Chains A and B, each alone.
Chain A
Amino acid sequence: MNSAPPVIALSAWREACLGALDRGGRFCGAYASGTGAARRWNALFADGAETLVLSADAGAADPPTIVDLIPAADWDEREAHDLRDLRFEGRESQRPLATHAPETASWTVPVEGRGTHQVVVGPTHAGVIESGHFRFHVVGERILQLDTRLFYKHRGLERAAEGRSPAAGLAFAARACGAGSVTNSVAYAQACEAALGLVPSRELRRGRTVLLELERLYNHLNDVAAICAGVGFAPGNMAFATLKERALRLNCELAGHRFLFGTVAVGGSVLDLDAAAAGRARGELGELRADAEAAWRELAFAASFQARLGGVGVLSTEDASELGAVGPAARASGLHIDTRGTSPGLWYGSAFAPARPPAASGDVAARLEMRAAELPVTFELLDDLLSEPVRPGDAAAGGSTGPIGVARVEGPRGETVCAVELEGEHLGRLHLRTASYANWPALVHAAAGNLLPDFPLINKSFELCYACVDR
């Protein structure tokens, strides 16, 4: 990982990407870096604990598209076109992603036929929801095609981080997403440490794992509440909102912030729990677990709620794989990928096994049950980690240094991939590809063919973030 990847000629680009797939790699992002003659188009492939970086020379000519080989690269190419002015040879269409072209036809898929019409929603919504624009092409109540336009919240975080020190760049990754702040911060910190040749201590690995699991806990409780809200089942929504609130209060008690902001540093961790504090946390987590299990049992017997979940918003295993889905959504569709099992920089160990869904049916029911199946794993991990004090950790020099560092970290919604390119002592490029970014195309695909009134439910079953997609 630490030596600069060899630059691949454009004529060999597609073959190189195919080769990475053939060797068992999983595409996990692509980004443009550099300017002028030094411009590069980089693709990332996950392979166990390693991440393969392929780098194409895009200084003189447009790279060929790989979207026909790897559909999951669609948004990456469209983003690079809009934000980094890169064009792709051989793409059938180059619909805008981040650029908000005024003509609707430029970014929507044409849908024609008798009785078809569009239902337009957003960018502002009727509740407390992030900003994003949806165009449903429907016939009657049936969704034929969904076109999304995101990036309303684009703040230019990646560009704004360029030229800063690795320590100062952390804030840009951390504030990309409030609910994935720990995941993105740890991914950023690990990417910087990989580039700087820093090796995390045992305490650092443990501390970060505690923070990551605390983040997963409140997010999973939130997501169950959100799915209940998606069908208007207020008792379930409020029951899990109450549990989430308790998890947030525990975060504040343990780390001084309800969303764990400011707990992660490059080469360090500030989480400091003595035996008494860790013991109290275990006690509270034990109570929370019992109450979450009781509330979950009640949901299982709420027939009007359960009747809404099966067979809705189905994402097949093949589609999940083709579109590059990650996290609980991918696992609910039968893809057994969980980066926690291949994270030597954290404290999951080789024995870690991701929870398996009761039925990998890929529908709303499976995505809901996936969260419920993962909660006990998180409670067990936290109970184990908090059985001894958690001390601030650090990272020591010892690894090899290099201009590029990449890290992948499993967050509540799946894997965040962070790539950092250093120029001297400063950030030349920061690229953050979160699980929400990976899963939006899968959500859009899963919505087609369903009833329009089921969309809020399908949407909530993925519970994707807009902020970290838009950045």
Chain B
Amino acid sequence: MFVLLRHLQRVRREAALPPRSGARSLAVRHLDAGSCNACEHELTATAAPQYDLARFGIGIVASPRHADVLLVTGPVTKRMEGPLRRAYEAMPEPRLVAALGDCALGCGVLGDRAELAAPLEELLPVAIRIPGCPPSPEQIAEGLLTVVRAPLDPPAGRR
């Protein structure tokens, strides 16, 4: 095991990743609404030592109740529309929806119209758009980092 760990340290050194920035975080909940699984492969890859998005405070969380961002892949099938809406409703506010990949962005979607619900944009307010088929881990990092690095909204006025 120690050999594996040493090997991983070497990979990290050789990848020469830029240093982490700021002290902010982003909790991401992934939701597959009918993807081909390639977006999932690339999202998983962002955790690999060559990218390691945890450096930037970006982590995949297990429940929408813990999430800042709902990261959606796929063209939204009829059968996934309900689970998608329920996941969004379960999120605390403020919450953001991210469309990961061309299908979630409604571009070049393949399938029978009768089996697809509606483009994600028509179902939920999409704030982050990460195009690609599938987007590379760099593109996913770039898309999520824009949120981490965005200036914070001023606190909402008290009622």
Contact = CB atoms under 8 A, between A and B. Distances in A.
Contacts, number: 148
Given A127-B30, A129-B40, A151-B79, A178 B112 contact: no
Max count, chain A CB within 10 A of own CB: residue among B5, B41, B50: B41
Nearest to A236: B4
Given A124-B32, A127-B30, A177-B37, A155 B3 contact: no
A305 to B, nearest CB: 8
Given A178-B38, A222-B41, A245-B50, A131 B112 contact: no
B112 A156 contact: yes
Interface string A213-225: 0000000001000
Contacts of B8: 235, 238-239, 242
B1 A155 contact: no
A60 interface: no
Contacts of B75: 155
A160 B35 contact: no
A368 to B, nearest CB: 16
A445 interface: no
A465 B4 CA distance: 28
A10 interface: no
Contacts of B4: 235-236, 238-239, 295, 298-299, 302
Max count, chain A CB within 10 A of own CB: residue among B37, B48, B115: B37
A30 interface: no
A455 to B, nearest CB: 16
Given A160-B111, A241-B45, A154 B134 contact: no
B143 interface: no
B115 A155 contact: yes
Interface stretch (A65-73, A168-176, A345-353): A168-176
Contacts of B40: 128-130, 178
Contacts of A88: none
B80 A131 contact: yes
A370 interface: no
- Tell me the dominant secondary structure on chain B's binding face: mixed
Interface string B32-50: 1111111111111101111
Given A175-B110, A235-B4, A238-B49, A153 B34 contact: yes
Interface residues of A, number: 51
Given A153-B77, A156-B115, A235-B8, A124 B110 contact: no
A152 B83 CA distance: 10
Contacts of B27: none
Nearest to A471: B111
Contacts of B95: none
B48 A238 contact: yes
Nearest to A176: B36
Nearest to A150: B79
B46 to A, nearest CB: 9
Given A126-B63, A154-B79, A261-B133, A235 B30 contact: no
A258 interface: yes
Interface residues of B, number: 47
A220 to B, nearest CB: 14
Contacts of A241: 44-45, 47-49
B31 A124 contact: yes
B91 to A, nearest CB: 12
A179 interface: yes
A238 to B, nearest CB: 5
Given A175-B110, A177-B37, A152 B79 contact: yes
A242 B34 contact: no
Given A153-B74, A155-B111, A239 B36 contact: no
A245 B1 CA distance: 20
A176 B38 CA distance: 10
Contacts of A236: 4
Interface string A429-471: 0000000000000000000000000000000000001111010
B43 A128 contact: yes
Contacts of A177: 36-37
B11 interface: yes
Contact of A155 (B7, B32, B112): B112
Contact of B110 (A127, A160, A222, A244): A160
B32 A259 contact: no
Contact of A295 (B7, B83, B133, B134): B7
Contacts of B145: none
Contacts of A468: 37
B32 A130 contact: yes
A131 B33 contact: yes
A159 interface: yes
Contacts of A222: 41
Given A124-B83, A153-B80, A178-B39, 12 more contacts: A131-B83, A154-B78, A157-B111, A171-B110, A178-B36, A178-B37, A235-B4, A241-B44, A258-B136, A259-B38, A259-B41, A294-B7
10 contacts: A127-B62, A128-B60, A130-B32, A151-B79, A155-B115, A156-B111, A156-B114, A160-B112, A181-B36, A467-B34
